Amino acid sequence: MILSDATLPRALERARGVPPPVVWIASDEPLLGLESADLVRASARAAGFDERSVFHVDRYFRPEVLMQEAGALSLFASRRLLELRLTGKAAKELGESLAESVPRLPDDIRLLVTGPRLDKAAKSAAWFGRVEQAGWLVEIPVVERDRLPRWIGERLQRGGQQADPPTLQLIAERVEGNLLAAKQEVAKLGLLLPQGKLEFEAVRAAVLDVARWDAFDLVDAALSGDVDRAMRCAAGLRAEGAAVPLVLWAVAEAVRTLGRMVGARDAGRPVAPVLAQARVWGDKERAYHAAARRLDAPRLRLLLRACGRADRMTKGVLAGDDWQALEAIALGLAGAASLALACDPALVADAADAG
């Protein structure tokens, strides 16, 4: 059975709180994945599965360890919950082991698997079909930025509060896509303000600018062509004292990958292997394709040269403001070519040659 985080509570109610032999929670949203896992844990505990064993899957993990634990007798509880926490894609060896073992789990064992969102190949694999038949797959979609105000509104309603679209947009802009921060802001508003409709000014006075950035937020914004968000992200990173070399490395890697992708496309070769080698898939793959439609090979070579100049600035070899150079590159990647070149006059002549 395929569920979502919204339908999971009703499914547990219909099952009278007893989860099936296996529940697989697949989510790229850490908060929503954690909340769904907590719900399954609480239901299992209420159903008498009092003992819990946790296994972290890394390159050293062996599937037989989990199965040995499932077959071992417990001194403390007759019912046990085994947790398998994946940090990446489920390997074929692990999947086939689960497919063979899950249908044979004893009645006093329940298995909870948590990990990132499953791709089409994994869900189409024969082993996964056998695992899914034994339980539930809880697929949790990513809360895109345009859906965040609605998500916040739903969370407010749970606490008896409502807000109009401008107020919800204000909160969404302050948390900048961070669901955990959004949850904390909703909880704070529940404590500070009364139930009912929230006034815009009261909310603005209560919420803080809790956006926290990392280098990959800047890359995502630039690849997506969101110039305004790229500018806010760059300013936030600079204000937080982020290390320029680290941020520059992330941006330069994106430029290199995009350059290889465009080069393959222009030569008539498939671009999928280029993206796979760079470990780019899902939403990021769509962002790269969008950027490839916006930027050509000469412009990308120009941006890569700008990365080299910025790198020399960070090392003191070349005079200049390394943050300004970095911001120029990010804006150029986002498509604001004229603004980027204005920040880096040394490349204007090259830009003219690039067309």
Q: What is the pLDDT of residues 240-250, one digit of tens each?
A: 788 889 899 99
- Which sign, positive or negative, has the C-alpha torsion 176, 181, 186, 192? negative
How many domains is the chain built from? 3
Q: Among the listed ranges 16-25, 33-42, 55-64, which one has the minimum average pLDDT value?
A: 55-64
Residues 60, 82: one domain? yes
Residues 292, 173: one domain? no
**76 band by pLDDT with thresholds 50, 70 and 90:** low
Residues 119, 30: one domain? yes
**Which domain-ending residue is among 165, 183, 206?**
206
The beta-strand segments (E) located in 93-219 are: 109-115, 135-140, 161-162, 196-197
Residues 149, 24: one domain? no
Q: Which two structure tokens, joined as six digits, stand for 131? A: 């695992």
What are the Cα distances from residue 135, in Å, to 25, 130, 266, 303? 11, 9, 46, 50
Q: Among the listed ranges 14-23, 86-95, 104-113, which one has the minimum average pLDDT value?
A: 86-95
C-alpha R_g of the chain? 24
Domain with 198 in it: what CATH number? Answer: 1.10.8.60
**Which domain-ending residue is among 153, 182, 206?**
206
Domain with 342 in it: what CATH number? Answer: 1.20.272.10
Residues 235, 197: one domain? no
Give the pLDDT confidence score for residue 256 in this predicted structure.
92
Residues 132, 42: one domain? yes
Number of other CB atoms surrounding residue 239 within 10 Å: 9
Q: What is the pLDDT of residues 178-232, one digit of tens each?
A: 888 889 889 989 988 899 999 998 898 888 666 667 888 899 889 989 888 888 8
Q: What is the pLDDT of residues 266-281, one digit of tens each?
A: 999 998 888 888 888 7
Give the pLDDT confidence score for residue 51 in this predicted structure.
85
Average pLDDT, the chain: 85
Domain interval for residue 61: 2-140
Residues 76, 132: one domain? yes
Residues 169, 102: one domain? no
**352 band by pLDDT with thresholds 50, 70 and 90:** very low
**What contacts 27, CB < 8 A, 6 or more positions away?**
5, 33, 36, 114, 116, 117, 138, 139, 140
Q: What backbone torsions phi and psi does residue 115 show, to the nearest 5 degrees?
A: -175, -175
Give the pLDDT confidence score for residue 12 in this predicted structure.
92
Give the pLDDT confidence score for residue 37 in this predicted structure.
94
Q: Which two structure tokens, joined as six digits, stand for 349? A: 């002549």
Helix (H) / strand (E) element for 2: namely: strand 2-3
Q: Which two structure tokens, joined as six digits, stand for 328? A: 């120029």
CA–chain centroid gap for 226, Å, is 18
Give the pLDDT confidence score for residue 354 in this predicted structure.
47
pTM of the model: 0.63
Give the pLDDT confidence score for residue 151 in this predicted structure.
95
Give the pLDDT confidence score for residue 77 in this predicted structure.
53
Instruction: Answer yes or no: is pLDDT of 355 > 60.
Output: no
Q: Which two structure tokens, joined as six digits, stand for 284? A: 């990021």
Q: Which two structure tokens, joined as six digits, stand for 146? A: 């345009």
Q: Are 28 and 37 contacting, i.e. CB atoms less than 8 angstroms apart? A: no
**346 band by pLDDT with thresholds 50, 70 and 90:** low
**340 band by pLDDT with thresholds 50, 70 and 90:** very low
CA angle 208-328-219, nearest 5°?
A: 60
Percent of the chain with pLDDT over 90: 33
> Which among 142, 82, 93 has a CA at the least distance from the CA of 116?
142
Residues 181, 73: one domain? no
Q: What pairs with residue 51 in β-bridges?
A: 80
**What contacts 26, CB < 8 A, 6 or more positions away?**
115, 116, 117, 118, 137, 138, 139, 140
Q: What backbone torsions phi and psi does residue 101 show, to the nearest 5 degrees?
A: -95, -35
Give the pLDDT confidence score for residue 40 in this predicted structure.
94
Q: What pairs with residue 22 in β-bridges?
A: 111, 135
CA–chain centroid gap for 69, Å, is 31
Domain with 63 in it: what CATH number? Answer: 3.40.50.300
Q: What is the mean pLDDT of residues 309-320?
A: 88
Separation between Cα atoms, residue 35 and residue 346, nearest integer Å: 51
Give the pLDDT confidence score for residue 211 in this predicted structure.
62
Give the pLDDT confidence score for residue 242 in this predicted structure.
84
Q: What is the pLDDT of residues 96-105, one digit of tens each?
A: 888 888 888 8
Residues 248, 335: one domain? yes
Q: Among the listed ranges 40-49, 119-128, 266-275, 334-343, which one has the minimum average pLDDT value?
A: 334-343
Residues 306, 197: one domain? no
> Comparing 66 with 260, which gets the higher pLDDT?
260
Give the pLDDT confidence score for residue 210 in this predicted structure.
62
Separation between Cα atoms, residue 227 and residue 27, nearest integer Å: 28
Residues 23, 89: one domain? yes
Give the pLDDT confidence score for residue 339 in this predicted structure.
46
Separation between Cα atoms, residue 71 and residue 88, nearest integer Å: 26
Give the pLDDT confidence score for residue 266 in this predicted structure.
92
> Which among 291, 297, 298 has a CA at the least distance from the CA of 350?
298
Give the pLDDT confidence score for residue 351 in this predicted structure.
46
